[in-house]
Amino acid sequence: MQRLESRVGGMLFARSGTGVTPTDLGSYVLSTARSVLADVDEMMAGIRRLTQAVAVKGAIRVGGPPGLVVPLFVDSVAKHVGSAESTIDIDTHPTELIRKVLDGKLDFIVLEEMPGFRTPLPPPLRSSLVLSAPMFVAVSANHRLADSVDIDLRDLAEESWVLPPVSEIAEQLALQRACTQAGFSATIKYQVSDSVTTRALVHQGAVTLAKPMAREGSGVVIRNLKGTPITQEILLVWHQDSPLVGVAERAPASLLAAYAQLVDTNPLFARWWAEHQATPPTADTGRDSAP
């Protein structure tokens, strides 16, 4: 308060033992400030209207992790709003994707999260849990457990794991929680971001968690984890003030339909899908549904 009074060059409030009351100068500043703030609010509302109008007419902007799902989802959303253009921002760091949708740089983001370790979302953001699916385990084709149909997590207690950094996804935390419940602590020897290096290390003897749509090949096989101790959640996130908020109601179904197109990339995931997603939703791509 003293700094403000020093700035305006006069006393704004008269102080007494019972509190403070505005002086004539203070009353003037308060009334003027209210008017200024109202003008600022009106200006910001106008800016939002103009930028939203531009966004609706422009490209659909979607961010998410590497893979085939995001392009399929973008295509569906673009058809919903009648847009011929779209942009994709691929990022392995959920905090960066969240920041971009919060700043209005992206319309939707797809997040791969681990139950109990979700990345916090600021209040202006809204989300929908689209899918909760099992994580599998990838081992070398020469691994002692490669011929098993299901692998018990406890049988991997002595293995060396390769997983992404915690800054990208909380797989390490989810694994350690599951291992603790199984009575041991996992040895995470390698922290690797890219799938090529991860596969090379698995081929050499390390083990890793495999996402639902992970592919076998190049000497790597994917197996069920007995009892499904670890799952992955797929979230769709958007800003509550997004110009595409009208699309958000059906966007989760569009994202789930994108996953439905890709289930055959992993026979284990396809089998799980058939048992748990008996009637996958089909995205309505008609342009008459645009907001």
Looking at the chain, which runs of residues are DSSP E strands? 13-16, 19-22, 60-64, 86-90, 108-113, 125-134, 136-140, 150-151, 160-163, 187-191, 208-210, 220-225, 231-239
Count Cβ atoms within 10 A of the Cβ of residue 106 and give its class: 0-12 exposed, 13-18 middle, 19 or more buried.
Answer: buried
Q: What is the pLDDT of residue 82?
A: 75
**CATH code of the domain occupying 59-132+232-289:** 3.40.190.10
Q: What is the pLDDT of residue 289?
A: 32
Q: Which residues contact 205 (CB under 8 A, 6 or more apart)?
A: 140, 143, 160
How high is the mean pLDDT in each 10-residue block of the chain (291 residues)? 71 75 79 71 58 57 95 88 82 95 94 96 94 97 96 98 92 96 96 93 96 93 97 96 86 93 94 76 35 29
Residue boundaries of the structural domains of the chain: 2-54, 59-132+232-289, 136-229
Q: What is the pLDDT of residue 102?
A: 93
Indicate if 136-229 has the same CATH topology as 59-132+232-289.
yes
Phi, psi of 128 (to 5 degrees): -135, 130
Residues 151-199: pLDDT tens digits?
999 999 999 999 999 988 899 999 999 999 999 999 999 999 899 999 9
Class of domain 136-229: alpha beta
Task: Give the number of other Cβ atoms within 10 Å of residue 242's Cβ.
Answer: 21
Q: How far apart are CA 226 and CA 182, in angstroms?
A: 12
Cβ(110)–Cβ(63) under 8 Å? yes
Q: Is the pTM of this model over 0.85?
A: no
The CA distances from residue 116 to 48, 145, 169, 171, 256, in Å, are 35, 29, 12, 11, 22
**CATH code of the domain occupying 2-54:** 1.10.10.10
